[in-house]
Amino acid sequence: MSAIAENVRRLMAEMPPGVRLMAAAKGRRPEEVLEAVEAGISLIGENYVQEGAAARSVIGGRAEWHFIGHLQTNKVRAAVEVFDMIETVDSLRLAREVDRRAAEAGKVMPVLIEVNSAQEPQKFGVPAEQVAGLARELAGLEHIRLEGLMTMGRLASNPEESRPDFRETKRLFDELRSLALPRVHLAILSMGMSDTYQLAIEEGANLVRLGTLIFGPRP
């Protein structure tokens, strides 16, 4: 059994009920991603449209594909074609472009709002105080379906420092649910990476994005 397969099986056995494991495949070869899928991964996250397209051409419908990087508007049409969900909607401008391209493709695109929960100026994402307003705008777009929130959390030497970020994002998630917005189906709280996923789960994440723990360090 390969190291990737061993990692996948160990991590899947450790996941609590109701928590889904995503293989974050940034910079990984399609063959590595295929190993993860063959070991049981059913959800792949890609940061770049071109890498996602290359991997999906090898693996196809054996996994669900989420876009988890910063999405530029000129890449939206390709992203809508390649991915099953876009997790990083962080502006109304981007959302409208996703809606337009999804309409052209004859589909409704599931999306998450990316929250800048750590309030770091160098990070992408929506400030906490703007999340509800953006969600209301997304509710009015016919070819987008808002399904939850995503956050990165702060980069810190001590993973525990990310806990307030995850807690705040869970608070926003619950607040949005209480609004009962039309055409919004809040089910996904995507938080936590290889160094913080356990904290994220403790704070309510039901989707975690693991790269290094599955594939090992990048070359």
What pLDDT score was predicted for residue 154? 86
Backbone φ and ψ for 17, nearest 5 degrees, come out as: -55, 135
Q: Does the structure show a pLDDT above 90 at 219?
A: no
Q: What is the rounded CA–CA span in Å between residue 167 and residue 173?
A: 10
Q: pLDDT tens digit string along 133-182?
A: 999 999 999 999 999 999 998 887 898 999 999 999 999 999 999 999 99
- The whole-number average pLDDT for the span 207-216 is 97
Q: Does the structure show a pLDDT above 80 at 62?
A: yes
Q: At what angle do helices 30-38 and 49-59 cross, to 10 degrees?
A: 50
Asked if 109 and 120 touch (Cβ cutoff 8 Å), the reply is: no
Q: What is the rounded CA–CA span in Å between residue 206 and residue 190?
A: 6
Q: What is the rounded CA–CA span in Å between residue 59 and residue 44?
A: 10
Q: What is the rounded CA–CA span in Å between residue 81 and residue 98?
A: 11
When divided into structural domains, the chain yields a total of 1
Q: pLDDT tens digit string along 75-131?
A: 999 999 999 999 999 999 999 999 999 999 999 999 999 999 988 877 899 999 999
pTM (2 d.p.): 0.96
Unique residue bearing structure tokens 């599955």? 214
* CATH number of the domain where residue 54 is located: 3.20.20.10
One-character DSSP codes across 113-151: EEE-TT--TTS-SB-GGGHHHHHHHHHT-TTEEEEEEEE
Q: Are strands 64-67 and 85-89 parallel, antiparallel or unpaired?
A: parallel
- The whole-number average pLDDT for the span 191-218 is 96
Q: Does the structure show a pLDDT above 90 at 8?
A: yes
Range of the domain at 80: 3-215
